[in-house]
Every structure is written in C-alpha cells, then in structure tokens.
Chains A and B, each alone.
Chain A
Amino acid sequence: MSTSLQAVREIVTASSSGQAALLQVLLAVQDSSPENYVSEEAVNEIAHLLGVSRSRVYSTASFYSVISLKPRGRHIVRVCINAPCENAGKQAVLIALEQELGVSLGGTTADGRFTLEGVSCLGACYMSPAIKIDNRLYGDLTPEAAVAIIRSYGEEDTIEHTA
C-alpha cells in the first residue's frame, strides 16, 4: 500500500509555494506512506500538481539520500557510520542489528517492519555509538542494548496491532 493520490493532493495543496515546495512535498508524501517511500504514481501526481516535469521530480528525489523510490519498512533504523561512532564501537552494534533483523545494511526485513540504513552523524557523538529509529535517538549503545531496543519495538507493534 503506498500513499493514496488523495493524500498527495492534500499535501501539495497545503504546501506554501509551487516549485520551491518540491523537496518538502516529497518528504511529506514519503512520511505519509506506510512503506516510507515515494511511489511512481505519487511522482506523477506531484509533477502534475506542481506543474513541473516528471524528470525534474525524479532528479530532485534521487539526489537526496533520505528520499526512497522503493518501498521500505515501517520503521527505519539508522546507524551512524561516522568516525566518532565508528571509534566507539559502531561496527559491533551494526553486526548485532544485522543478525537480529536478518538483513544487511540497506535491507528490509521480510515482514516489512524494519529497514536498516547507514546515516551520517546524528549530532549525538557525546553518546556514541548512536542510532536513530524513526524519530527516536538512542545512544551509548552496546550490541546487547541495540538488540533489546529492536525487540521492544516488536512488542510495541504487537500492542498497536491488538489495540
């Protein structure tokens, strides 16, 4: 399931000013998609509504690493890969996450719950190694702590589901 075209229309109408809004619209459309991506239909609709060419939309979308043109998991797990985190033990945390999730960097779990990505400095080097899951920051991680955090998400998802 991707973002409905109706949702795309609403986002574009709510945004401030034409072409300037393109990147913000792409981000909002992606955020509103349960699969965290901008679909082909959404690209077409954005181009149409903003009055720009489809290639312009693709060119902007593909330049920015945060925009995905492929479906991703419900939760994005971002592991900081920069020097302060690497020194503080990022590699062990990453390996533990890869094992727990059964995917390597860039991959999405088979149940569609998590996508594992590398990210540049999260501005949390005072508690490196750090990761971010969706909008939440976790620092001072050990491999065990990282796995426990992932499992806590599993529980949250189940609760959401049965609620």
Chain B
Amino acid sequence: MSTPHDSANSVFRLGLFRDFPTLMHYRDFGGYQALANALSGSPEAVIGEIGAAGLRGRGGAAFPTAAKLQMVRDNPPGVRYVICNADEGEPGTFKDRFIMTHIPFQLLEGMAIAAYAVGAAQGFIYIRHEYPEAQETMRRAIAAARAAGLLGADILGSGFSFDIEIFSGAGSYLCGEETALLSSIEGKKGRPRLKPPYPTQCGLWGKPTLINNVETLANIPPIVDRGSAWYRALGTADSHGTKLISLSGDVVRRGLYEVPFGTTFREIIYDYGGGLKQGRLKAVNIGGASGVVVPPWELDCPLEYDACGQRGITIGSGAVFVMDDSRSVLENVRNRIDFFLHESCGKCTPCREGLRQAGRIIHKTLAGEAVLADIDNLERYTRTMQNAAFCGLGQAAGNSLISSLKYFRDDYEAMCRDQNQAAPKEATA
C-alpha cells in the first residue's frame, strides 16, 4: 500500500507493513493508546467522538457507525456481541485481507473499543474460508493481545473484559450479508433473515449485536487517539477520513491505496495507479461485482458519498477495476451475472429466476443469437430483480448490468442479430 500523502494523514499505520506484524511494532507506532484512552473515559464519550468524526460503514452500506453503536448500547442490560464481518467476498476487493494480514492489532484494538462502547464481553471475527493466511495471522494476533492483557479479562486493569473468537466461513458469498452471517455462526445455512428486527436489537442467538466491516472497525483507534477534528480534516465536508481502494485490472500499478475522500476516480487510476498499461480506457467497474460499470467521462466524480450517489455510482467496498479498449464490457458483465447466479441462495424468485434469465440472454447476445427485443427484456428482468429481491444480493446483482445498458447499450445492440441485418437493408433502401 502506498499513499502520496505522509503518514500523519493516514488512518492506517503505514510504518507497520512488514512480514509478520508484531504487537511490539504496533505499540511503537502508537498502537493501543486509543484503547487506554477509551477505557479511562465513558462509553458515551467514545460514541460521541466517533459520531463527531462522521465515520460511516466501509463494508458498502455506509451507515453511520456511531448511530449503530448507540442502537446496540440502548438495549436493556444483558448480553451483547460484537462481530467483525471479514467475509470479504466482493470480487476485486482485497482491503480487508490486507488489514488482517498486515495490521491485525489495529482491527483488534478497534473491536475492543467498540465492545467497550456497546457493553459487549464477547466478539467474533467471521473470516472467509478463502483467506486461511488471514485466519492464521488473526489467531496469532489474538493470542499475543491476550498475553499482553489487551484482550480477555480485566483489560489494562480497567475492569472491562472482552474476548474474541475466530469463525471461519465456508465459501458462501451470501454470508457477507449480516443476517446470513448470523445464521452461519449459529450453525445453520447462511440464508438471510427478514429485517426488522435488526441485529442491533436481535442478533446472534437473539441478543443485541454490533456487526461491522473490518475497515470500519480499524478506523476507530485513530479516531479515538487523534480526535474527530483531525479525522474530519482528511476528507471532504460530506465524507470524512480516508478510504481503502483495491485497484486492479489494466493499470500500471495494481494494488491497495489509502486515499482521502474527495480524490477523483481519475486521480485514483492515473496518479495512484500510473494510468493504463496499454491502449485506451474503455470502462471502469466501481464497487465490485455488485457495483457499476462506468465510461471514462464519469471519472471526474470525486470519491464522496453524495457525489457518487447522485451519479448512481456505488462506492461499495472500494474496488476499482479498470478495463482497456481491448476488453468486452459484455464479457465482463456476463462474468458478474454468472457469479451471482452461482451465489444466489434461491430463496426468492426475482433473484433466482431473474439471474437465470439475465444470464441466458447475455450468453445468447455474446453468441450473436439475440435480437433487440431481448435487450429490452434484459432491462426489465433486471429492474424487477433490483426492486423485488429479498436481500441485498439480489437487489445489487443487476447493478453492473443496468449501468452497462445505460452507458454501453451500443455494445449490446451491435451484437444483436436483427441489428446486424438492419444495416445492409437500410443501405439498399
């Protein structure tokens, strides 16, 4: 990971990127000062600071983190849980794996502070099965933190106790959906549940549960340590702090970048990524498989929740995937639809059948066997899926499709049989 700005402006502890991250190194860089700070004050003060910083969830939904903490805290006294969602399954995204393998203690510290804020004694990290190295590093980090009195009973002599267990996923993308993740920890199929009730009230084993993404939790220690004013100054008036961007595809320097909010996508691709390896820019996929496909002229949009929202761009997990002009947008969308069809749990019809039909039409189009009417149908099916699917997977599965139809409809139509036949007829008329 690299940033053009210095580490004073970095949320992630850059000095720590070495082979095996040790607790000693993390503490040398100011690690665990935030936890000590937090424990010497009240839980309300912690929530207040995170609220003032304006931190929003980094898993994709961008929900205000302090509000979520408060909702869990507000429950009647009793057992609560903190869950770290490390089921990073969004194709094109590798930020959470990076945090776990390089700065695991920043995540553990963030979880401990969050647990103190909501009054939880037990936490889980749900790590996908595809990340065995992250599971291993986190296990070692947990053991080291426990041995140093930074996890477990009576943390830093404060009387506050909190411990963390690792839970491995088993190859289901859907388990990244928070209610499916809960079912999975409970030993069931990872299928989503109806909301409300929300996990903040009725979560793991029916108890109030805080579920946050890895990156969100790792943002907490620097906020508590350096204050909300410092944090807000990093971003823009609308979006605060920094965002981890997983940059992949046809760029010179693929990799993970921490960028302040307000950076444009063009800057991400050209300044951070060094521009295209060859050819010209054709399209960029933003936000992973459930994100959108946009043409080059949308790239001056700043990375900002409002600005992106207005243009229909989903920041999502922060994946930016670049395609040069030798690539086919249709092939790309087909890959994403195949992915969702494979991952759909089949519980509801719009998602199950919608994806099947969408997949069928795209394959047909790529084979040169579709007609223009098929493309209209494709659009209709996708809208239905977006509006009527039961959970976020089905609702988001059509995003790449709809955006590609909006910007690259010509590419679809050029592949249609009747379109190709129409041209010579016109020529003779």
**Chain A interface (Cβ < 8 Å from any Cβ of B):** 16, 19-24, 26-27, 59-60, 63-67, 78, 81-84, 86-87, 119-128, 132, 135, 137
Partner of A87 from B89, B172, B332 at Cβ < 8 Å: B332
Residues of A within 8 A of B331 (CB): 86
- Residues in B whose Cβ lies below 8 Å from that of A120: 89, 91, 130, 171, 173, 339, 343
Among B130, B167, B184, B289, contact of A123 (Cβ-Cβ < 8 Å): B130
Shortest CB-to-CB span from A115 to chain B, Å, is 14
CB distance from B294 to the nearest CB of A (A): 15
Question: Which of B10-18, B187-195, B417-425 binds A?
Answer: B187-195
Task: State the main secondary structure of chain B at its contact with A.
Answer: mixed
Q: How far is the CB of A82 from chain B (nearest CB, A)?
A: 4
Given contacts A60-B188, A64-B190, A123-B130, 9 further A-B pairs with CB under 8 A are A20-B205, A23-B184, A64-B170, A64-B171, A65-B170, A119-B171, A121-B93, A122-B130, A126-B256
Q: List 25 A-B contacts (CB under 8 A).
A: A20-B186, A20-B205, A23-B168, A23-B187, A27-B168, A60-B187, A63-B191, A64-B170, A64-B171, A65-B172, A67-B170, A67-B171, A81-B339, A82-B92, A83-B285, A83-B289, A84-B91, A84-B249, A120-B173, A121-B89, A125-B91, A125-B246, A125-B319, A126-B255, A126-B256
Q: Tell whether B321 is near chain A: CB-to-CB under 8 Å.
A: yes
User: Given the known A-B contacts A87-B327, A135-B133, are A121 and B91 also in contact in the complex, defined by CB atoms under 8 Å?
Assistant: yes
**Residues of chain B whose beta carbon lies under 8 Å from any beta carbon of chain A:** 88-94, 96-98, 129-133, 136, 165, 167-173, 184-191, 205, 246-250, 254-256, 285, 289, 319, 321, 323, 327, 331-332, 335-336, 339, 343
Q: Which of A83, A87, A120, A132 has the most CB of B within 10 A?
A: A83
Could you tell me the distance between the alpha carbons of A81 and B339 in the complex, rounded to whole angstroms?
9
Closest chain B residue to A19, Cβ basis: B187
Q: Is the CB of A82 within 8 A of B246?
A: no
Residues of B within 8 A of A21 (CB): 187
Tally inter-chain residue pairs, CB-CB below 8 A: 122
Instruction: Report the Cα distance A60→B184, complex, angstroms.
Output: 9
- Residues from chain A with a CB closer than 8 A to the CB of B165 are 16
- A83 neighbours in B (Cβ, 8 Å): 91-92, 285, 289, 321, 332, 335-336, 339
Q: A19-B186, A60-B187, A120-B130 are in contact. Are A65 and B249 (CB under 8 A)?
A: no
Cα–Cα, bound, A66→B131 (Å): 12
Q: Which residues of B contact A125 (CB under 8 A)?
A: 91-94, 246, 248, 254, 319, 321
A57 → B minimal CB distance (Å) = 10
Once the chains bind, are A126 and B246 in contact (CB under 8 Å)? yes
Which residue of chain B has the shortest Cβ distance to A50 in the bound complex?
B187
Residue of chain A at shortest CB distance from B186: A20
